[in-house]
Amino acid sequence: METRRRTVVKAVVWAALGWVTMALVGLAFTGSVAAGGTMASVNTVVGLVCYVAYERIWAGVRWGRW
């Protein structure tokens, strides 16, 4: 079983990678650093919360484990 701490660390690293990617996409589409950064920040917060919840739910599912 995965610990909560490991889940959160994985989520934060994933979110950081996603933030950089989304900021670049936002910048490319809008031409604005501020708009790209805002889009990336909102996306990252929502994604981080959803990812942690998703991982914690699956951590409690016994199906497919030995």
Q: Does 18 reside within a domain?
A: yes
pLDDT of the residue at 59 = 87
Mean pLDDT for the stretch of residues 41-53: 89
pLDDT of the residue at 15 = 85
- Report the number of distinct structural domains present in the chain: 1
Domain extent at residue 23: 4-59
Q: What is the pTM of this model?
A: 0.67
d(CA 46, CA 41): 9
pLDDT at 66 over 80: no
Q: Does 50 reside within a domain?
A: yes
pLDDT at 1 over 80: no
User: Could you identify the residue written with the tokens 């934060």?
Assistant: 12
User: Could you identify the residue written with the tokens 């889009």?
Assistant: 39
